[in-house]
Amino acid sequence: MTIKISGTGRALPEHKVTNQKLQELVETSDEWIRERTGIGERRISTGDTVVSLAAEACRKALEMAGKAASEVELILVATCSPEYLLPCCACQVQSIIGAVHGAAFDLNAACAGFLFGLDTAYAYLQSGLYKNALIVGSEVLSKLVDWKDRSTCVLFGDGAGAVFVETVPEELICDNGRKAGIEAILQGADGAKGGILSCQERPVQNAFLTEQEMPDSYVHMNGQEVYKFAVKKVPACIQAALEKAGLTVEDIDLFLLHQANERIIRSVAKRLKADLSKFPMNLQRVGNMSSATIPVLLDELNRDGRIQKGDRLVLSGFGAGLTYGATVLVWG
């Protein structure tokens, strides 16, 4: 049996916002943003929602996989920016695409959410409970950032990426002799550091409490602390996942990292002693889309023919929580 990704898709809002445009909103510069982050522009919703973007990405992933929506058995939407708390985004996506037989729920592991979703789906498929799943990372972070806060509003973008994974009964051995499928998963969290990247929803409030002030509901971040966490944790987590799989850095063809900051990605490559050319990036064009970064990058590479059967990939991310994870897989 093999569990393989047989379709990918992405959806981005049309509206591009350049660094120059942001200079009109906050005291910043194209030079500062590029130097500190690598980001040049991002897509910002002018009406797209987490659900509409997720549904479009799912349709494209299904089309590539040659599957009908009615065949989908599980839909997982990873998001930290839903428009509704109830119903969850996955149920809304199920309805829009017509995946009437699919179980559906959301999960939130912030920027590592897509990875955690992929791992969750893998565990379901491995157990035999379901034979296929759609996993989506979808975010409209533009509604959670304070557009007067230059330390956060320049970083994020909106978008969605999806994959369709399925179980095939036979073992898929690629031309290079590698067996397709997921080889290792490592997930972790450091909840004690949760305060360094947060966004509060409603506090406890009810008819039995005296009225309190509502907190603001913007993203607050200690960028330097998140940076320090990422440059240490991501390489350590990748190394641990590789060890689990009995592999080394040299065995990996591509590292698809969470697209938060070019400096973080360069630092991870350096710490792993891996060639930077193995770390594709798209953050220059789309910014940090949280849970959507990895599946959007995966779809870009897949559609551009830059991932071949038998390639061994590491997907790795980190995010609010703080959460982190790495997944090693052979593309089939």
Enter the tokens of residue 216: 């603001």
User: With CB under 6 A, what is the number of residues at the site for ligand UT7?
Assistant: 18
Residue closer to ligand UT7 (CB basis): 53 or 134: 53
Catalytic residue status for 282: no
Out of 111, 153, 199, 237, pick the active-site residue. Answer: 111
- Which residue in 55, 82, 79 sits closest to 69, CA to CA? 55
Q: Which helix (H) or strand (E) holds 136?
A: strand 132-140
Catalytic residue status for 91: no
Residue closer to ligand UT7 (CB basis): 186 or 230: 230
- Which residue in 194, 193, 195, 174 sits closest to 183, CA to CA? 174
Residue closer to ligand UT7 (CB basis): 15 or 36: 36
Is residue 32 near ligand UT7 by the rule CB under 6 A? yes
Number of alpha carbons in the 13 Å side-chain half-sphere of residue 59 = 12
Choices 150-158, 173-181, 185-193, 246-254; region in contact with ligand UT7 by CB under 6 A: 150-158
Is residue 224 near ligand UT7 by the rule CB under 6 A? yes
Q: How far is CA 88 from the centre of its chain?
A: 18
Interface pattern 250-289 for ligand UT7 (x via CB under 6 A):
----------xx--------------------------x-
* CA–CA distance, 5 with 295 (Å, rounded to integer): 11
3-state secondary structure 38-53: CCCEEECCCCCCHHHH
Catalytic residue status for 199: no
Choices 60-68, 206-214, 216-224, 241-249; region in contact with ligand UT7 by CB under 6 A: 216-224
Choices 50-58, 71-79, 206-214, 217-225; region in contact with ligand UT7 by CB under 6 A: 217-225
3-state secondary structure 153-190: HCCECEEEEEEEEEEECCCCECCCCCECEEEEEEEEEC
For ligand UT7, the binding residues (CB under 6 A) are 28, 32-33, 36-37, 111, 150-151, 154, 221, 223-224, 226-227, 260-261, 288, 319
